[in-house]
Structure 1
Amino acid sequence: PSSSAEPGCHSLPGGFSHTHFSVCPPPEMIYRHMAVIDGEMVHFEILDTAGQEDSLQIEEKIKWGDGFAVVYSVTDRCSFDEVMRLCFLINHIHASPRRSSGSEQPPVVIVGNKKDLQFDRMVSTEDGENLSKALKLPFYEISTRDSYEETVVVFNTLYQELMRQGHFSPGSFKRRTVSKLMEKIPRMQASSTLNSAGRSLSFNSFRDYIPE
């Protein structure tokens, strides 16, 4: 498959981790970030991918994550049209007999980015809301360029949903899968150190995935 990377350099994980680049970062990056949520230190590893891989690689990356943010650009109708397929793919992979253990599906949120570009908008807020209602998933429309707080809300929602599912205890979040593919993806650590004790979890951020 081929993909169209989200135009610009303001990604969801980069905004959350306060990571800024003078030029656009690689199309794939794992951002490491530490945040205090409800009084607890949480270590995030967030894979930012534009979908530039084959189906087997996509599957490995989905298995790796504890939760998922499926991101489209409000200025790109094609990226919005891919959201439903990606959400079904995530559910299908995590519902497979080899992975099913009676637990709930991993949390997924739908995120419309670049709401600041109103004159370039091709996807209405109502379109996003209707899709989220159909899939019964949380929905946010944000601007990673203009608002750090909006970005934080997305990851707080994923974290709270993992808490709600009741299988979250200290040290419970281990890597879902370890592979040579994931080890090759470059890591970008935020300015904060990750040496402090705390909970560790991984998220995937899929953006603008467009198949051939």
Structure 2
Amino acid sequence: MVDGESATLILLDMWENKSQDNWIYDHCMQVGDAYLIVYSITDRASFEKASELRIQLRRARQTEDIPIILVGNKSDLVRCREVSISEGRACAVVFDCKFIETSAAVQHNVKELFEGIVRQVRLRRDSKEKNEKRLAYQKRRESIPKKARRFWGKIVAKKNKNMAFKLKSKSCHDLSVL
């Protein structure tokens, strides 16, 4: 149950399967509703591989707005850390995805992660439905002056750097917002 609504998650671990069955790997890249890209904070190579996987995923699903969460695991192993929190966040910002650190061993942020992925799927689904309804309504009802005002509002926002930044700025670590 997430936010009073039931949810079912099916997880496929594709990290190990790539070398064994390429068709399964390719199929999963095409059909998932959301993706968790997990790396170990104690292994820089896994972080770099996670970045490569994120690029492959965007290539495979170019036109779709699919939730992706970059997950730094093993956060309980602070003394062995090779990837900082700021590096993880920066990577998430660059790749336009969410970020969280977890520890499967001590269950730190694990519940938040799974609830967050469900919320991200629902937010995108609801946002898509709302946009489709809004666009259909606008096409039917919006007058020419209103369309012009909306158009100029976007241009003015692009010229005003502070406003444009506010429009584009996203939180990479809050899993309850888009």
Alignment pair present for 1:72 and 2:39:
yes
Moved over 3 A (4+): 54-57
2:11 counterpart (46, 65, 72): 46
Q: CA offsets per residue over residues 50-98 of structure 1, 9 Å max, x none?
A: 2332444321122232110000001111000112211121121123xxx
List alignment gaps of at least 5 residues for structure 1.
1-35, 170-212
- Structure 1 residue 112, shift from structure 2 partner: 0.2
Equivalent residues, number = 126
SS at match of 1:42: coil
Quote the residue 1:134 is aligned against: 94
Q: Which runs of 5+ in 2 are unaligned?
A: 130-178
- The separation in 1 between residues aligned to 2:85 and 2:47, in whole angstroms, is 11
Deviation of 1:46 (Å): 1.0
Does structure 1 retain, via aligned residues, the 8 Å contact 2:30–2:60? Answer: yes
SS of the residue aligned with 1:111?
Answer: strand
RMSD: 2.1
Contact 1:51–1:58 at 8 Å: present in 2 too?
Answer: no
Please name the residue that 2:133 is paired with: none
In structure 2, C-alpha distance between the alignment counterparts of 1:53 and 1:130, rounded to whole Å? 26
Paired residues of 2:14 and 2:25 also in contact (CA < 8 A):
no
Residue 154 in structure 1 maps to residue 119 in structure 2: no
Which residue type is aligned with residue 113 of structure 2?
V
The alpha-carbon deviation at position 113 of structure 1 amounts to 0.3
Question: Could you tell me how far apart the structure 1 residues matched to 2:18 and 2:122 are?
Answer: 31
2:50 corresponds in structure 1 to: 83
Taking structure 2 as the reference length, what is the TM-score of the superposition?
Answer: 0.64
Higher relative contact order (CA 8 A, sep 6+): 1
Q: TM-score, normalised by structure 1?
A: 0.54
Between structures 1 and 2, the one with greater strand share: 1
